[in-house]
Amino acid sequence: MSESLKKFIREIPDFPKLGVIFRDITPALLEPKVFKELCDGLHARYKGKRIDKIAAVESRGFIFGSVLAYKMGIGFVPMRKPGKLPWKTICEKYSLEYGEAAIEMHIDAVSKGERILILDDLLATGGTAAAAARLIERQGGIVEELAFLIELTDLKGRDNLKGRKIYSILQY
């Protein structure tokens, strides 16, 4: 599936900032067979593994994270930009390919000892994923793996995630 998926990823130059090539997964979402294959592929990988919850990063991570949590019959943890969650949160700051940002989750989203899969659409520098993992671990959770639809290998995001299990469907 990996190479055939590339034709469903749109490249948008200079978004959200000059010099960045944005990899847009929305064309893949428009094709029911492709979307189903992506969701089924993720489910096949994690079905039967000891995972208590899926933690997904806004916004495109929510698309696949919620489907996977539903298919696995487990909880879903939304990880969002500051000020977007309605209750008490914990926050973690990080660096992006094109600036600084922060991510939050509810303080009661993860309990000590819970095994968590973190899911996002894209691994670039690894800043977002590392921040998500730190949030999970601050609450006593165990990060089982970090999963991505796309990995931009030239940005060396894996270097910021050393010692962690990483899975990506498609590499650029």
Under-70 pLDDT residues of the chain: 1-3, 97-98
Q: Look at residue 97 in the predicted model and tell me its pLDDT.
A: 64
Q: Which of 23, 60, 80, 114 is catalytic?
A: 60
**pLDDT for position 63:** 98
C-alpha distances out from residue 18 to 13, 21, 22, Å: 8, 9, 10
Q: Which strand (E) or helix (H) includes residue 54?
A: strand 53-57
Q: How confident is the model at residue 17, as a pLDDT?
A: 85
Annotation marks residue 97 as catalytic: yes
3-state class (DSSP) for residue 118: strand
Pick the CATH number of 48-171 from 3.40.50.2020, 3.40.50.20, 2.60.40.1930, 1.10.3720.10: 3.40.50.2020
Predicted confidence at residue 4, as pLDDT, reads: 85
pLDDT at 42: 98
Q: Which helix (H) or strand (E) holds 165?
A: none
What's the half-sphere exposure (Cβ side, CA atoms, 13 Å) at 8? 21
Q: In 55-151, where does DSSP find H-type helix?
A: 60-72, 127-138
Between CA 72 and CA 154 the distance in angstroms is: 33
Catalytic residue among 58, 97, 115, 158: 97
103 close to 94: Cβ distance less than 8 angstroms: yes
pLDDT for 84 equals: 97
Please tell me the predicted confidence (pLDDT) of residue 114: 98
Q: What are phi and psi of 95, to 5 degrees?
A: -100, 140
Interhelix angle 60-72/32-46, rounded to 10 degrees, is 60
**Every domain of the chain and the residues it spans:** 48-171
Residue 5 is predicted with a pLDDT of 87
